[in-house]
Amino acid sequence: MNVPAPAGITTLVAYVATIPAANLAVTHFGAVPVGFGYAAPAGVYLVGLALVLRDLARESTGRVAVLAAIAVGTILSYFLADPALAVASAAAFGVAETMDFAVYEPLRQRGLLIAMLASNAIGLLSDSLLFLKLAFGSFEYLPGQILGKAWMTLTAVAVLALLRRRKQATP
C-alpha cells in the first residue's frame, strides 16, 4: 500500500476545503462579477481552483482518495452551508469527476498540464450545467460560471508551468 507524501495529503485537504468554501461563498455572497459583464455564483473561483487541486490530488493520492474527498467535502458542505447547495454541489462534483477521469487518464501520458487543461474544460462545463440546474433551476449564470472557472484553471496551469520551469532551471 502506497502512503501519499505530505504534499499529496496537503493538496487533498485543500481540495476538500474548496467544496464547502465554495458553497459557503454562494450562500453568503450570491453572485460576483467574473469579467466581460458576466456574473456567477460566488463559489465559482473556488470551484475553478478545486478542478486543478483535484487533478493534483489524483496525481499524488489516487482516484479513490479524490472520490472520498468529494464525499467529505459534501458532508462538510451539508452542515456548513445550505443543504440544497451541498446536494447540488455533490452531484455536480461527482459527475464532473467521472467525466474528468475519462478525459484525464488517457491524456496524462502526454503531460500533466495538457491532461489538466482538457479535463478541466470538460469538468467545468459538466459541473456548471448540472450545478446551475440543480441549485438554481436556471442556466442564467452559465457564461459566468464557465468564464470564472476557466480563469482559475488558466491561472493555476500558468503557475504550475512557471514552477516546473523554475524547478528544471535550478541545478
Tell me the per-residue pLDDT of 4-60, one tens digit each, with 9 for 90 and over.
Answer: 688 889 999 999 999 999 999 999 999 999 999 999 999 999 999 998 999 899 888
Query: In this model, does residue 170 exceed pLDDT 90?
Result: no
DSSP state of 81: S
Using the CB atoms, write b or e for 2-32: b if 16+ within 10 Å. Answer: eeeeeebeebbebbbbbbbbbbbbbbeeeeb
In a domain, 1, yes or no: no
Residue 3 binned pLDDT confidence (cut-offs 50, 70, 90): low
Find the mean pLDDT for residues 121-146: 95
In a domain, 68, yes or no: yes
Residue 3 half-sphere exposure toward CB, CA atoms < 13 A: 1
In a domain, 59, yes or no: yes
- The pTM score is 0.88
Q: How far is CA 76 from CA 16, 70, 81, 142, in A?
A: 9, 10, 8, 25
In a domain, 171, yes or no: no
In a domain, 98, yes or no: yes
In a domain, 122, yes or no: yes
Say which residues have a Cβ less than 8 Å from residue 119's Cβ, sequence separation at least 6: 51, 55, 99, 100, 103, 104, 107
Contact 108, 38 (CB under 8 A): no
In a domain, 29, yes or no: yes
- Continuous segment of H or E residues that includes residue 116: helix 112-136
Residue 127 binned pLDDT confidence (cut-offs 50, 70, 90): very high
Total domains in the fold of the chain: 1
pLDDT at 92: 92
pLDDT at 164: 87
Domain that holds residue 23: 6-166
Residue 136 binned pLDDT confidence (cut-offs 50, 70, 90): very high
> The CATH number of the domain where 50 resides is what?
1.10.1760.20
Residue 157 binned pLDDT confidence (cut-offs 50, 70, 90): confident
In a domain, 50, yes or no: yes
Query: In this model, does residue 133 exceed pLDDT 80?
Result: yes
